[in-house]
Structure 1
Amino acid sequence: MHYRAILKQSDGWWIGRLIDLPGVNAQEKTREACLQSLRIGAEDMLATPIEFDAESIMTIIEVPDRVAA
């Protein structure tokens, strides 16, 4: 799978986040290490089981496509 990442350099650190998986963030000294940390974070998030109690429901919502202005 592919996920979009935003990376920037700040005060000697590479800071990154995955747009498509909110909560997957990384901060490393090199760009390559930051990308690897993001990969590991994505793998961990996607491997985490989702537990529901008896009163919970799972559903799908539809979000309309954005119209360019």
Structure 2
Amino acid sequence: MEIKRLTAAITQEGKWYVARCLEVEVTSQGHSIEEAISNLKEALELYFEDEEHPRINASPIIAPVEVNMAI
């Protein structure tokens, strides 16, 4: 068994926290950040269980971006 460190981006959408893995297209949600991460971990483990040769994109570069918004 191999352990792989992946990156999760977490946003709040209404009452839910949504956790999205940035290296593979897997997303989950929960009522708290901890629950969303736990659910994402479970979803990722199920995803990789079904993949014979999983494709994991390179680790993303996370950077802030400032944009002008007309209000």
Q: TM-score, normalised by structure 1?
A: 0.64
Unaligned ranges ≥5, structure 2? 53-71
For residue 66 of structure 1, what is the aligned residue in structure 2?
A: none
Q: TM-score, normalised by structure 2?
A: 0.63
Tell whether 2:36 aligns with 1:40: no
Q: Alignment RMSD, CA only?
A: 1.1
Which has the higher Rg, Structure 1 or Structure 2? Answer: 1
Tell me how many residue pairs correspond in the alignment: 49
Once superposed, which parts of structure 1, at least 4 consecutive aligned residues long, lie more than 4 Å away?
A: none
CA positional deviation for 1:38: 0.6
Structure number with higher relative contact order (C-alpha < 8 Å, ≥ 6 residues apart): 2
CA positional deviation for 1:29: 0.5
Tell whether 2:12 aligns with 1:9: yes
CA distance in 2, matches of 1:27, 1:49: 22
CA distance in 2, matches of 1:30, 1:8: 11
CA distance in 2, matches of 1:3, 1:49: 16
